[in-house]
């Protein structure tokens, strides 16, 4: 056997190698091993590919009508290699090889398979061979779509011939060839998207209809019985085949047949739903199909996209059928369904005894094999019985009896796959058969509240759950939800489950594993019910019960409660969500031992995952963040500060920072842009606490949480609300966070940290600064430096717009911090971010680990700073101009963007307009000026002196910045200025006011000089305006050419308008023509 397998592998590899050899002239021989018959003899004088010629020598002859060819294992390997050659060869060879392979497929029922010597008797291998051959052909169809239809049609015809064999009167022939070959073909189809062809039930001669009418179920039962008795020589051969052939046994073949039967039954139910079947309850046919397509036999469940594809194809077949689709079964089908139901229940009962014996037989290989195969058979029997009940429209009491008997048995957890199958089939049963809902609800509730006592000792710890138990609870909850069906019944069922805890009272420190197991089951199922119903009343009731104190008996039970509450939070309304988060945060307690630490770690992971799930909801994220931030501040203030960081120590930092980090990284968080006074107060308390505790100063903490600090600082608002007036004198001194940490040692530490940050003029301030002011300055420095390193430096200018800051003695220190912020931004952006991105963009290589700031972010920062340079407060505008000047001196290429140039020059014009308006009518001042080009509005004070000073300073800065770029990139800047001057002016009225921004652009560009190649415009440049510089010459050429093109476009539009008017006048004589 090993030699045969080695020969097969060598031949398959040889087919791939030979497929790449060039075609040579060779003549086909006429001997018996060449595999040439009638159709091959016609091509004996043509050129034959060497790969095809060598592989055909290993293939059998094609049988004629009066001959039977013996097929050996060598011939099977040759045919498989030929199929492999079809997929890997060129078109010319592929056509010849494909015709030969399909001819072998058509002739398979006529072959007489040679049994290899293997023990007593022989082992036929047609099941293995047919499955491999069909799988190879389907792979060819997937690789070459142009031949896919031909291949699938021939495979389908092969299945029809096998059904003919199944309908033959000879049972031995049916067992030896028909059923195994049929299972092999369908097994190959089941693994591909061609499986929908099994469901082609639009015509009376379809495969599904023929299988149901062919007494196939009875023949399978006869086949299994024949394999077990082995009375005759033929049956003895079959018995050896079933027991030893290619790893198959009688039970394995039975399981495969049940899988095929399941597909046929699913097709009938799906057609009834997709072709116009009525909805049941509140579920449409598509939702009902999702219930039916849930495969209970684990390991063969289709992918979601495969299920959707299958359902769509069934709907297409049903809608495109010319014949009337019969939604309900005929009398013949009713009898076939009855046989299937009886067969399924009988097979389930017989297999159940074998499985239960194998479950107690030990861990030897035969027992485990019998257990696995038997469980799979029982799953498919339950599923087949359920589908036939749906098709018959009548629920047999034996189906529910078998399911309830297994659920209530002590084997429910040991045979987890079968239990999952039972719970899953209860969902469509409860959906389609209303009379069964009370029974199902009672059975599932009994399973949850009265579990087998003998399994209580298997729990790893009090209140914990094994993986097998957790796998059972989700389908159990689904079955319970389907049986409750409505809101009123759901509320009643939830109260029933909750009242069951009156018998199983959970007390703190309880060691009753059975009671804790019941409490855990109820918590998990209540959460699943809330998710299933998605109803506000049900969700509120479930949350009030889950968060009850009785579910905090042990750390494991507390952990499960937090996880269940977090699951329910995803479907809860905003008030209920806040209650859930608050209840979960209350379970976090520090300093209570290792059990409390385990709860804290689990709660942190659960709430972090919840933060990512609700990241798309703005209101929920904001409320979640406020509650989490407040909880962190309260918990961290009460907890003692550790002397140094310990990786294994559970602290408020390790628990709450991941939650806060996840929330600020969501797209819905906007606290840095529109934070309220309460949010700013929370952020301020957070950063004050981080500063005074030393979390931002200690190198070990920075190394551990530096990335989190940076992200939090980047999304943090400024620490002073714009409406605060006396903040530094009153509000800061009354901070509860600072009062709890004040001390001489802490003040000395803060002053030492501030010493290198402030300038020499602030040393006197530093010696006399108080604890609150020192904490404020250090917090501002840490937050703004982290924000600048993240790519944003303009936020620090907001401090200069607050009167509480500008009128205080801390202003010089804030100015020193602003200088450090812009220096950090330039250093970070120039040395690590901008240059890295530019080089990577040029080479086409990305390196995410460097996290480069994208060029649009730098451009947006430049534009924001330019707008700040025109602020109505002198201090803000002065520092804005300084920031832009520092950035452009570091890398002037930041100005080489059309939007930046346009922003700069339009702002110059906007400031000039404010000066002109103030000078023209100083008694009716205008405070707001809008640029439609930029889409921004600026406010200016009622002071002609300030406006003129601002215009002089900003226009000088604009000239200086443009001249910096002229030196670095004159050609690029000229192109941008030409594009700017060619765009329509913002002033579309006819007052002909001067545009200072355009004048400045023309003045700077006129002085630009560089050597450029001459451009010959030919006869197009008929006349040119007078030019004072090469720039105006090129600008004139641009405008002239654009005008010629625009005029041509206008003429074409006029012609189209006249043509439409002419056609309209002919169609409607006397009607008024369009204007």
Q: Which helix (H) or strand (E) holds 717?
A: none
Q: Of 143-152, 652-661, 1055-1064, which one has max mean pLDDT?
A: 652-661
Q: Of 73-77, 234-238, 818-822, which one has max mean pLDDT?
A: 818-822
In this predicted structure, the answer to whether residue 130 has a pLDDT above a threshold of 60 is: yes
Q: Are β-strands 116-117 and 122-123 bridged in parallel, bridged antiparallel, or unpaired? A: antiparallel
In this predicted structure, the answer to whether residue 241 has a pLDDT above a threshold of 50 is: no
Q: What is the pLDDT of residues 173-187, one digit of tens each?
A: 555 556 666 766 766
Q: What is the mean pLDDT of residues 416-436?
A: 85
Give DSSP secondary structure letters for 639-666. Answer: SPPPSS--TT---HHHHHHHHHHHHHTS
In this predicted structure, the answer to whether residue 647 has a pLDDT above a threshold of 80 is: no
Looking at residue 170, its pLDDT comes to 59
Q: What is the pLDDT of residues 847-887, one digit of tens each?
A: 333 333 445 678 888 999 999 999 989 999 999 999 999 99
Helix ranges (DSSP H) in 534-667: 536-546, 555-569, 574-586, 594-613, 618-638, 652-664
* pLDDT level of residue 361 (50, 70, 90 thresholds): low
* pLDDT level of residue 192 (50, 70, 90 thresholds): low
Angle made by CA atoms 51, 57, 62, in degrees to the nearest 5: 115
Tokens in use for 268?
Answer: 């009938």
Q: Which residues contact 128 (CB under 8 A, 6 or more apart)?
A: 184, 245, 246
Question: How distant, in Å, are the alpha carbons of 17, 433, 626, 843 from that of 846?
Answer: 38, 58, 37, 9
Tell if the pTM clears 0.85, that is, is over it: no
In this predicted structure, the answer to whether residue 515 has a pLDDT above a threshold of 80 is: no
* pLDDT level of residue 299 (50, 70, 90 thresholds): very low
Tokens in use for 900?
Answer: 């930046």
Tokens in use for 16?
Answer: 């791939």
Looking at residue 876, its pLDDT comes to 92
Tell me the C-alpha distance between 819 and 813, whole Å: 10
Helix ranges (DSSP H) in 790-927: 803-806, 811-828, 835-843, 855-868, 874-890, 898-920
Find tokens 């861990």 and name the residue. Answer: 363
Tokens in use for 959?
Answer: 């000239």
Question: Percent of the chain having pLDDT more than 70?
Answer: 61
Q: Which helix (H) or strand (E) holds 923?
A: none
Looking at residue 31, its pLDDT comes to 34
Angle made by CA atoms 885, 887, 888, in degrees to the nearest 5: 65
Report whether 739 contacts 772 (CB < 8 A): no
Three-state DSSP class for residue 935: coil
- 668 conformational bin, left if phi > 0, alpha if psi -120 to 50, beta if neither: alpha
What rounded mean pLDDT belongs to the chain?
71
In this predicted structure, the answer to whether residue 913 has a pLDDT above a threshold of 60 is: yes
Looking at residue 1017, its pLDDT comes to 40
Q: Of 564-568, 872-876, 989-993, which one has max mean pLDDT?
A: 872-876
Tell me the C-alpha distance between 564 and 606, whole Å: 9
How far does CA 560 lie from the centroid of its chain? 26
766 half-sphere exposure, CB direction, 13 A CA radius = 21
Report whether 603 contacts 589 (CB < 8 A): no
Looking at residue 954, its pLDDT comes to 92
In this predicted structure, the answer to whether residue 313 has a pLDDT above a threshold of 60 is: no
Looking at residue 1026, its pLDDT comes to 43
* pLDDT level of residue 352 (50, 70, 90 thresholds): confident
Q: Of 685-699, 876-890, 993-1007, which one has max mean pLDDT?
A: 876-890
Beta bridge partners of 131: none
Decide which of 811 and 123 is more confident: 811
Task: Determine the angle formed by the axes of helices 365-392 and 331-359, rounding to 10 degrees.
Answer: 150
Decide which of 571 and 314 is more confident: 571
Please give the torsion angle defined by the CA atoms of residues 279, 280, 286 and 291, in that order, rounded to the nearest 10 degrees: -160
Report whether 164 contacts 218 (CB < 8 A): no
Tell me the C-alpha distance between 702 and 548, whole Å: 39
Q: What is the pLDDT of residues 969-987, one digit of tens each?
A: 888 888 888 888 877 766 5
In this predicted structure, the answer to whether residue 993 has a pLDDT above a threshold of 60 is: yes
Tokens in use for 292?
Answer: 């039916």
Is the sign of the CA dihedral 383, 387, 388, 392 positive or negative?
positive
Q: What is the mean pLDDT of residues 652-673?
A: 84
The b-or-e profile of 716-755 (16+ CB within 10 A means b, else e) is: bbbbbbeebeebbeebbeebebbeebeeeebbebbeebbe
* Residue 123 per-residue DSSP state: E
Report whether 414 contacts 471 (CB < 8 A): no
Angle made by CA atoms 20, 23, 26, in degrees to the nearest 5: 135
The alpha carbons of the chain give a radius of gyration, in whole angstroms, of 41
Q: What is the pLDDT of residues 916-964, one digit of tens each?
A: 888 877 777 888 888 888 888 888 888 889 899 999 999 999 999 998 8
How far does CA 142 lie from the centroid of its chain? 27
Looking at residue 835, its pLDDT comes to 42
* pLDDT level of residue 115 (50, 70, 90 thresholds): very low
Tell me the C-alpha distance between 750 and 752, whole Å: 5
Question: Percent of the chain having pLDDT more than 90?
Answer: 4
In this structure, of 22-26, 53-57, 274-278, 545-549, the range with the lowest mean pLDDT score is 22-26
In this predicted structure, the answer to whether residue 106 has a pLDDT above a threshold of 50 is: yes
In this predicted structure, the answer to whether residue 554 has a pLDDT above a threshold of 60 is: yes
Report whether 769 contacts 761 (CB < 8 A): no
How far does CA 84 lie from the centroid of its chain? 36
Tokens in use for 541?
Answer: 């009731």
Question: How distant, in Å, are the alpha carbons of 543, 564, 580, 621 from that of 573?
Answer: 11, 16, 10, 13
Decide which of 208 and 89 is more confident: 89
Report whether 826 contacts 853 (CB < 8 A): no
In this structure, of 117-121, 286-290, 548-552, 577-581, the range with the lowest mean pLDDT score is 117-121
* pLDDT level of residue 736 (50, 70, 90 thresholds): low
Nearest to 478 by CA among 547, 413, 429, 537: 429
In this predicted structure, the answer to whether residue 681 has a pLDDT above a threshold of 80 is: yes
Which burial class, exposed, middle or buried, applies to 398 when counting CB atoms under 10 A from its CB (0-12, 13-18, 19+)?
middle
Q: Which residues contact 840 (CB under 8 A, 6 or more apart)?
A: 846, 847, 852
Find tokens 């890398």 and name the residue. Answer: 891
Tell me the C-alpha distance between 682 and 685, whole Å: 5
In this predicted structure, the answer to whether residue 380 has a pLDDT above a threshold of 80 is: yes
Helix ranges (DSSP H) in 393-512: 397-408, 416-432, 437-449, 467-484, 487-499
Report whether 28 contacts 48 (CB < 8 A): yes
Nearest to 902 by CA among 992, 1011, 984, 823: 984
Which burial class, exposed, middle or buried, applies to 63 when counting CB atoms under 10 A from its CB (0-12, 13-18, 19+)?
middle
Domain ranges for the chain: 1-114, 433-576, 588-658, 670-853, 854-1008, 1023-1075
Looking at residue 846, its pLDDT comes to 38
Looking at residue 844, its pLDDT comes to 41
């Amino acid at each position: 056997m090993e030699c045969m397998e080695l020969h097969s592998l060598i031949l398959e590899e040889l087919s791939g190698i030979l497929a790449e050899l060039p075609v040579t002239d060779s003549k086909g021989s006429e001997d018996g091993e060449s595999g040439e018959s009638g159709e091959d003899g016609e091509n004996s004088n043509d050129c034959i590919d060497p790969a095809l010629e060598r592989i055909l020598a290993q293939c059998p002859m094609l049988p004629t009508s009066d001959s039977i060819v013996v097929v050996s294992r060598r011939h099977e390997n040759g045919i498989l290699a030929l199929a492999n050659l079809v997929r890997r060869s060129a078109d010319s060879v592929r056509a010849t090889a494909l015709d030969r392979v399909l001819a072998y497929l058509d002739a398979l029922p006529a072959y007489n398979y040679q049994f290899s010597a293997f023990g007593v008797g022989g082992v036929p291998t047609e099941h293995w061979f047919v499955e491999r051959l069909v799988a190879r052909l389907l792979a060819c169809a997937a690789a070459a779509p142009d031949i896919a239809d031909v291949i699938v049609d021939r495979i389908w015809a092969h299945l029809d011939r096998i059904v003919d064999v199944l309908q033959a009167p000879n049972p031995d022939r049916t067992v030896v060839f028909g059923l195994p070959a049929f299972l092999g073909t369908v097994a190959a189809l089941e693994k591909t998207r061609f499986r929908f062809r099994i469901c082609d039930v639009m015509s009376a001669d379809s495969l599904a209809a023929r299988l149901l009418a062919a007494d196939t179920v009875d023949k399978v039962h006869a086949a299994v019985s024949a394999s077990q008795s082995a009375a005759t020589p033929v049956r003895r051969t079959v018995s050896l085949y079933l027991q030893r052939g290619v790893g198959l046994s009688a039970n394995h073949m039975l399981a495969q047949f049940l899988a095929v039967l399941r597909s046929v039954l699913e097709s009938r139910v799906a057609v009834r739903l997709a072709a116009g079947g009525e909805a049941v309850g509140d579920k449409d046919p598509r939702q009902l199909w999702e219930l039916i397509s849930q495969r209970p036999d684990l390991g063969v469940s289709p992918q979601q996209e495969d299920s959707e594809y299958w359902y769509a194809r069934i709907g297409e077949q049903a809608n495109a059928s010319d014949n009337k689709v019969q939604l309900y079964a005929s009398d013949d089908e009713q009898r076939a369904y009855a046989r299937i139901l009886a067969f399924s229940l009988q097979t389930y009962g017989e297999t159940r005894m074998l499985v239960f014996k194998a479950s107690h037989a030990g861990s030897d290989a035969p027992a485990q094999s019998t257990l696995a195969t038997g469980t799979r058979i029982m799953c498919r029997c339950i599923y087949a019985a359920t589908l036939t009940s749906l098709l018959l429209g009548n629920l047999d009491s034996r189906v529910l009896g078998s399911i309830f008997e297994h659920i209530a048995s002590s084997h429910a957890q040991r045979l987890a796959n079968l239990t999952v199958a039972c719970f899953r089939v209860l969902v469509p049963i409860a959906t389609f058969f209303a009379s069964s809902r009370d029974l199902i609800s009672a059975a599932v509730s009994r399973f949850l509240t009265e579990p087998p006592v003998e399994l209580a000792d298997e729990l790893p710890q009090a209140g914990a759950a094994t993986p097998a138990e957790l796998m059972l609870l989700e389908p159990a909850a689904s079955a319970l939800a389907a049986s409750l069906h409505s809101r009123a019944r759901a509320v009643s069922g939830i109260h029933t489950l909750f009242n069951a805890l009156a018998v199983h009272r959970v007390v703190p420190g309880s060691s009753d594993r059975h009671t804790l197991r019941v409490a855990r089951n109820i918590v998990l199922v209540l959460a699943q019910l809330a998710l299933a119903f998605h109803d506000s009343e049900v969700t509120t009731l479930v949350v009030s019960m889950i968060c009850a104190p009785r579910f905090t008996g042990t750390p494991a039970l507390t952990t499960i409660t937090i996880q269940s509450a977090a699951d329910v939070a995803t479907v809860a309304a905003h008030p209920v969500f806040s209650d859930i988060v608050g209840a979960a945060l209350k379970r976090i307690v520090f300093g209570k031992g290792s059990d409390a630490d385990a709860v804290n770690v689990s709660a942190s992971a659960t709430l972090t995952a919840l933060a990512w799930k609700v990241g798309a909801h703005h209101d929920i994220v904001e409320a979640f963040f406020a509650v989490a931030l407040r909880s962190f501040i309260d918990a961290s203030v009460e907890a003692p500060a550790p002397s140094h960081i310990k990786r294994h120590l559970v602290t408020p930092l390790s628990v709450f920072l991941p939650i806060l980090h996840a929330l600020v990284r969501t797209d819905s968080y906007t606290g840095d842009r529109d934070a309220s006074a309460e949010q700013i107060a929370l952020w301020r308390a957070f950063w004050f606490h981080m500063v005074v505790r030393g979390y931002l100063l200690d190198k070990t903490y920075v190394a551990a949480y530096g990335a989190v600090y940076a992200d939090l600082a980047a999304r943090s608002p400024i620490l002073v609300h714009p409406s605060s007036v006396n903040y530094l004198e009153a509000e800061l001194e009354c901070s509860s966070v600072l009062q709890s940490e004040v001390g001489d040692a802490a003040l000395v530490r803060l002053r030492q940290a501030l010493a290198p940050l402030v300038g020499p003029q602030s040393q006197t301030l530093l010696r006399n600064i108080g604890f609150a002011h020192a904490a404020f300055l250090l917090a501002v420095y840490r937050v703004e430096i982290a924000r600048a390193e993240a790519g944003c430096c303009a936020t620090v200018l907001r401090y200069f717009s607050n009167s509480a800051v500008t009128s205080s003695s801390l202003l010089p220190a804030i100015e020193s911090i602003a200088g450090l912020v812009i220096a950090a931004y330039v250093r970070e952006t120039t040395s690590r971010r901008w240059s890295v991105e530019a080089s990577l963009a040029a080479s086409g290589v990305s390196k995410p680990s460097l996290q480069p700031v994208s060029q649009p972010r730098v451009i947006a920062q430049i534009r924001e700073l330019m707008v700040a340079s025109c602020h109505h407060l002198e201090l803000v505008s002065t520092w804005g101009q300084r920031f832009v000047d520092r950035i452009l001196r570091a890398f002037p290429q930041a100005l080489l963007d059309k939007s930046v140039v346009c922003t700069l020059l339009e702002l110059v014009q906007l400031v000039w307009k404010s000066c002109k308006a103030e000078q023209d009518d100083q008694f009716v001042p205008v405070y707001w000026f809008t640029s439609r080009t930029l889409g921004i509005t600026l406010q200016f004070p009622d002071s002609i002196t300030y406006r003129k000073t601002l215009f002089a300073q900003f226009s000088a800065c604009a000239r200086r910045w443009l001249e910096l770029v002229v030196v670095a990139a004159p050609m690029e800047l000229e192109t941008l200025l030409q594009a700017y001057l060619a765009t329509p002016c913002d002033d579309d009225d006819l007052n002909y006011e001067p545009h200072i921004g355009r004048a400045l652009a023309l003045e700077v560009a006129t002085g630009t000089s560089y050597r450029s190649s001459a451009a010959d415009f030919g006869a197009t440049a008929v006349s040119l305006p007078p030019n004072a510089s090469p720039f105006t010459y090129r600008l004139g050429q641009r405008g002239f050419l654009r005008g010629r093109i625009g005029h041509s476009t206008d003429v074409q539009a006029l012609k189209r308008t006249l043509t439409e008017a002419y056609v309209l006048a002919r169609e409607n004589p006397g009607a008024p023509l369009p204007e």
